[in-house]
Chains A and B, each alone.
Chain A
Amino acid sequence: MSRVGIREVAALAGVAVGTVSHYLNHPDKVSAERAERIRSAIESLGFVPNNAGRQLRLGRSSAIAYVAPDVSNPYFAEIAEAVELRSAERGVSAFIANSHRSRDREDAYLRFFEQHQVLGLLVSSHLPIEDRLAHVRRRGTPSVLVGQAAASPEQASISLDDVEGGRLATQHLIDTGCRRIAFVGGPIGIKQVSDRLTGASVVTRAIAGATLEVIDQGDRTIRGGREVGIQIAARPADQRPDGIFAANDLLALGILQELVRAGVQVPRDVALIGYDDIEYGEVSLIPLSTIRGRHGTFGEATVDLLFDEIEGRTDGVRQLAFTPDLVVRESTRGFGS
């Protein structure tokens, strides 16, 4: 079962190898009669164009790729889906890969997609990545940083104003009467996390009598939230925060489960707000207040921005920043009542 090559196709179709090659690259430029013979030879031999060779001739594959930390977080899954839909509209496929926050895996995927000559890369990362993307870009593969504003003017990015999001969430807790605020999330080295915390501290600093505690939790999942919830519930009531701002909705959902289980009343005793507005927040035990970052157009804008880069239209705005909105639900409504 040796792999069928272009020579075998040419032999069976009774044409030159060059004609088969021509057919593969520009099917319309080969006479209908020959095209039919080649097509049927390809069919009966089960010939698959070797991508490496074909791409050398054609230049690029017809796919883009999205490298995300973890699409089991609905926040990234929603981006992945929107990216896929927009790509399909533009006639390209979108590969998705999970780095699972590992630098090694992230590098391996970047290398894989670069070697396979994708048209361009979309990358969400919690690691320092701009230098690596700059190298990849210089070698010919453009990229858009997703979810984080790029520092370099050369790097296209689409992001959310996370300082503003942190400010909105914390101001809302203050407005509902909370004074002992806890920020849950980590590590602070991640820009999306530190920006949200910065926004929170801007608010609490300006309010007399308000405090901001930071509860470091680098595992930003439901499980990580549960750990924090257990810890908060175990404190004497007067030492608990009265308002919790979780760095994402998954953390908030985990915290909520454990507070409710321990009999802590949300929002009467403790108000709780998350971040991202994932679709499970609305139907959680107690519907979750949150910060909505992305709008309907986020996925479209991301792919369109990448295509601007691919097509060399780099004279327009290369760094888009979305402004977040506050979404108020039961988890903060009625605090203290």
Chain B
Amino acid sequence: MVASIRDVAQRAGVSVGTVSNVLNASPRVSPATVELVRAAIADLGYVRNEAARQLRAGRSSSVGLVVLDVRNPFFTDVARGAEDEAAKLGLSVILGNSSEDVARESGYLDLFEEQRVHGILISPYGDIEARLSELRRRGTPVVLVDRESRDAGVSSVSVDDRAGGRLAVAHLLATGRRRIAFVGGLLSVRQIADRLIGAQDAMAGADGASLEVIGTAASTVLDGRHVGEQLAARPAGERPDAVFAANDLVAVGLLQALVMSGALRVPQDIALIGFDDIDFASATVVPLSSIRQPRHEIGATALRILREEAAEPELPPRRIVFQPELVVRASTSR
């Protein structure tokens, strides 16, 4: 049990205000009282929580949330989870859209720190964990969202993307598909890379099956559409019989292009599965199979952890990993 300022006051037989005056070196306290308080502090091993004091004194009631793509409903749902939780705690949430750009991501971090926000939630794009640990050390709590923390310095709330990739491809293989394509990007984004690694896990031991990787510049509807047009233009023998899209937006774009081509049927000619299970996944021309992430809960949990760390900066960082679920709809059912 850590000694608090109340314990010190009680031990010294003075008010909490007097202890505070001693701590702040106020000249209004008599030397005898100062001595009493100092002795109580020494006896109890009381350590003043400077960071918490600063938070109380100088932090705004807003939390900064940096997302990769504000047009991806996954992130707006995560944001909603954080906002709902923030509202309960009397906080508000300000969004910054990094648009998968290192300079913009860095710019938002600077701005949020300068605004002395209550804390920062970030779905990181660049390799910035060292920078985030530094932010935390300087007194701004940080929680990674949708990416597991690698070093011990920062808390994270994420989904096991690799397990999700395994689920998706195991499902395609189990429904008889053999020529699988993974579509998405950038592959240097860890969430995307982990989904691909999970896909490779599932391929191991699948005889006669192959995994083609079609990397894209980002993971938007437009990226999916471009790849879909390319696939539709290939000779029938060279097309994959199933596509695992890195997220639902890419899957939606692929579906647009395949349906528009008129020559290919989903799922008969090409099965298609996405990732995230956004609300629109069930409303597409062929309802999309997907990997469901608890989006709202990710945001709410991250906000709660941030709040706890703001109140108690000495808390050790935590890693919360949610398990994804397979959702089967018409786009993969024959």
- A residues sitting closer than 8 Å to B (CB atoms) are 1-4, 46, 48-52, 54, 61-63, 65, 71-72, 74, 77-78, 80-81, 84-85, 88, 93-98, 100, 105, 108-109, 112, 116, 222, 253, 256-257, 279-280, 282-287
A52 to B270, CA, bound (A): 57
Known: A72-B77, A98-B95, A112-B94. 5 other contacts (CB 8 A): A71-B70, A93-B96, A105-B92, A109-B92, A112-B60
Interface size class of B (residues with CB under 8 A): 35 or more
Taking the closest CB of chain A, its distance from the CB of B104, in whole angstroms, is: 6
Residue in A1, A51, A61, A285 whose beta carbon sits within 8 Å of that of B283 in the complex: A285
A280 B76 Cβ-Cβ under 8 A: no
Query: Residue on A with the closest CB to B114?
Result: A51
A77 to B138, CA, bound (A): 33
B95 A97 Cβ-Cβ under 8 A: yes
B252 A283 Cβ-Cβ under 8 A: yes
Also in contact, A46 and B134, with CB within 8 A (given A2-B50, A97-B92, A112-B92): yes
Also in contact, A81 and B95, with CB within 8 A (given A1-B51, A51-B114): no
Which residues from A are CB-within-8-Å of B279?
222
Show 21 residue pairs from A and B whose CB-CB distance is below 8 angstroms, ordered by the A residue: A1-B50, A1-B139, A46-B137, A51-B116, A63-B111, A74-B73, A78-B71, A93-B96, A93-B107, A96-B94, A96-B96, A97-B93, A97-B95, A98-B80, A100-B83, A116-B60, A253-B283, A279-B221, A280-B283, A283-B256, A284-B285
Query: Residue on B with the closest CB to A82?
Result: B71
Which residues from A are CB-within-8-Å of B33?
none
Residue in B76, B94, B99, B111 whose beta carbon sits within 8 Å of that of A72 in the complex: B76
B285 A286 Cβ-Cβ under 8 A: yes
**How many residue pairs between the two chains, A and B, have CB atoms under 8 Å in the bound complex?**
130
Taking the closest CB of chain B, its distance from the CB of A49, in whole angstroms, is: 6
Query: A-facing mask of B177-191, CB < 8 A → 1, else 0?
Result: 000000000000000
Query: A-facing mask of B317-331, CB < 8 A → 1, else 0?
Result: 000000000000000
- B residues sitting closer than 8 Å to A (CB atoms) are 50-51, 54, 58, 60, 62, 69-71, 73, 76-77, 79-80, 83, 87, 92-97, 99, 101, 104, 107-108, 111, 113-116, 134, 137-139, 221, 252, 255-256, 259, 279-280, 282-285, 287
Taking the closest CB of chain A, its distance from the CB of B47, in whole angstroms, is: 11
**Interface SS of chain B:** helix
Also in contact, A93 and B99, with CB within 8 A (given A48-B138, A284-B285, A285-B285): no
A49, A50, A71 — most chain B CB neighbours (10 Å): A71
Residue in A63, A96, A283, A284 whose beta carbon sits within 8 Å of that of B70 in the complex: A96
A97 to B115, CA, bound (A): 15
A283 B107 Cβ-Cβ under 8 A: no
B139 A3 Cβ-Cβ under 8 A: yes
Residue in B69, B107, B115, B137 whose beta carbon sits within 8 Å of that of A51 in the complex: B115
